[in-house]
Structure 1
Amino acid sequence: MVSPIDHDTAMAIAAAEYDRGAALLDRLDAAHWSAPTVNDGWDVRATVGHMVGMMAMMSSAGQLVRQQITAQWAARRSGAPVSIDELTAFQVRSNAGLTVEQLLGRYRALTGPAVRGRRRLPAFVRRRTLPERQLVNGQLERWTVGYLADVILTRDPFMHRLDIHAATGLEPVVTAEHEGSIVDLVVREWAGRHGEPYTVELTGPAGGLWSTGGPPVKLDALDFCRIVSGRPAVSTAPEPAGLLAVGVPF
């Protein structure tokens, strides 16, 4: 997989997403932090610990190497085919000892360095293939560094922001300009992954109509992203059957 958008556009979306996350965290009260999310074993606090860990990973070459090596060794020991679960678990553990205020401070302090770390990746590096394959729809596939940096590392905090909204009941801020740009890329990748005729009408400010003439599906734009990520919908929506069962990595 390669990045479908130019690097400067991707970094503008990334910066906006980190800002969205910071605004959400500022709205959380004491009870929200222990609310369970759809991610097994993760409450809101653990979710933010992962988000902070991922931002730290991209803030410096040293953090990137340390986290990747730690996760890959753990995956080898456990026999896991990919190391992403070991990586995220390491990030949660690394931040588990922080107070909520310290965690909030880390998030705010890392927004700039995380974007800069992603932005400064040169084109020849972004074109390189990651050494480890990734598991999507039951198949191992190759990603470029650019796809990871430009797409996945923005989708990940976007989806976890939605996880926190679902866990706390706080209404998300949704615009066509920001969330709509993320949803559009998700729909287009989903369509490319299944390769079948489709018609998808997504409602809400981030929605729109995408069609190549297939049977119509109508649902909330954020729920579409939740479903193709493997999560349950929050609003009333179709079960993840047929083409909706085709996953998109987040």
Structure 2
Amino acid sequence: MATPTVPAMDITRTSGSRARTVNEAEIQASLAMMESLDARAWSKPTACSGWTVRDMVAHEVGQFEELPKPWLMITRIRRARHRHPQMGPLDGHNESQVEERGGASSERLVEEFGRVAPKGVRSLSRVPAPVLRRIRTSMIFPEGKALPEDSMEYLNSVLIARDTWMHRIDISDATGAELTLDAHDSEIMDQVLLDLALGWTGPPCLLELSGPAGGRFLLGSGPPVVTLRADAIDFARHLSGRQPRGELTFEGDADAAAALNAARVVF
């Protein structure tokens, strides 16, 4: 049976109630990978410049820690202004997260992630959706203005799972740890493709994405002028701006292929 082609613009945005399930599934998948790492893995460099696996997990702990305690974001941004004046608010804040846990062991980081991450997700799920919708992420991070939806609702429904998911991919790439994919990975990938479609101004393109998180998707409307074939995870990695690992193959109009190759999505 042929795989149906789904218009990427028709993908439904993850609801707040569904987001908690997806977020919790990603937390468990990430925690399982962290627990599988041996001592040598924690010092491996990652796709995030200057960060080891250990630094990346420290950042993730800090992210979830802030969800029920948003004042920590402000504290870290202020600290970063003095320590890292060359960085923007978001990057400086992320660096502060890493620095705060500079002395923590890998065992401590795994324990903290397993405790703090579920608590952070639960805290957001208790906030009424209209309130999350009204709170702008750009009030804290100016970079939030570049998001498809500048709101805490978007953070809860999309970005929490996406950021954690991509860092799980980063850790797998850095250490060789097995990347186990299930249904929730497809849901995260679908939201990536929806955001790609929302920002797409080029001609119609067909995306043939292989692997458990893949499928056939149409960007734009009308007959596609170019077809992209790639593993879904490789394409997600590419859209995030990370260095390519798998091959992206384009067939069709060269200008459309170049536009699709240059497309990016916020992670």
Aligned pair in 2 of structure 1 residues 135, 115: CA closer, same or farther (>3 Å)?
closer
Which amino acid in 2 is paired with 1:169?
G
SS in 2 for 1:127: helix
Per-residue CA shift, 1:66-121, capped at 9, x if unaligned?
223431563498265x5110111011111111111111111111132011122112
Aligned pair in 2 of structure 1 residues 88, 23: CA closer, same or farther (>3 Å)?
same
The equivalent residue for 2:205 is 198
Aligned pair in 2 of structure 1 residues 235, 115: CA closer, same or farther (>3 Å)?
same
TM-fit CA distance, 1:209 = 0.3
SS in 2 for 1:17: helix
The equivalent residue for 1:16 is 25
Supply the distance in 1 between the matched residues of 2:144 and 2:117 (Cα, whole angstroms): 28
The match for 1:217 among 228, 236, 245 is 228
5+ unaligned residues in a row in structure 1: which ranges? Answer: none
TM-fit CA distance, 1:236 = 2.3
The equivalent residue for 1:56 is 65
Question: Any conservation in 2 of the 1:133–1:143 contact (CA below 8 Å)?
Answer: no
TM-fit CA distance, 1:184 = 0.9
TM-fit CA distance, 1:53 = 0.7
Query: Normalising to structure 1: TM-score of the pair?
Result: 0.88
Supply the distance in 1 between the matched residues of 2:170 and 2:26 (Cα, whole angstroms): 14
5+ unaligned residues in a row in structure 2: which ranges? Answer: 1-11, 251-256
Residue 174 (1) aligns with residue 191 (2):
no
Per-residue CA shift, 1:150-169, capped at 9, x if unaligned?
11111111000000000011
Q: Which has the higher contact order (CA 8 A, sep 6+)?
A: 2
Residue 244 (1) aligns with residue 256 (2):
no
The equivalent residue for 2:4 is none
- Number of residue pairs aligned between Structure 1 and Structure 2: 241
Which amino acid in 2 is paired with 1:143?
D
From the CA coordinates, give the structure whose radius of gyration is larger: 2
TM-fit CA distance, 1:238 = 4.9
Pairs within 5 Å for 1:118-137: 118-128=124-134, 129-130=136-137, 131=139, 132-134=141-143
SS in 2 for 1:134: helix
Supply the distance in 2 between the matched residues of 1:123 and 1:232 (Cα, whole angstroms): 36
Aligned pair in 2 of structure 1 residues 72, 144: CA closer, same or farther (>3 Å)?
farther
Residue 163 (1) aligns with residue 180 (2):
no
The equivalent residue for 2:246 is 235
Supply the distance in 2 between the matched residues of 1:45 and 1:67 (Cα, whole angstroms): 20
Per-residue CA shift, 1:108-140, capped at 9, x if unaligned?
11132011122112222211123143268xx68
The equivalent residue for 1:78 is 85
Query: Normalising to structure 2: TM-score of the pair?
Result: 0.83
Supply the distance in 2 between the matched residues of 1:68 and 1:226 (Cα, whole angstroms): 30
- The percent identity for this pair of structures is 31
SS in 1 for 2:76: helix
The equivalent residue for 2:111 is 105
Which amino acid in 2 is paired with 1:194?
W
Supply the distance in 2 between the matched residues of 1:204 and 1:44 (Cα, whole angstroms): 25
TM-fit CA distance, 1:244 = 2.9
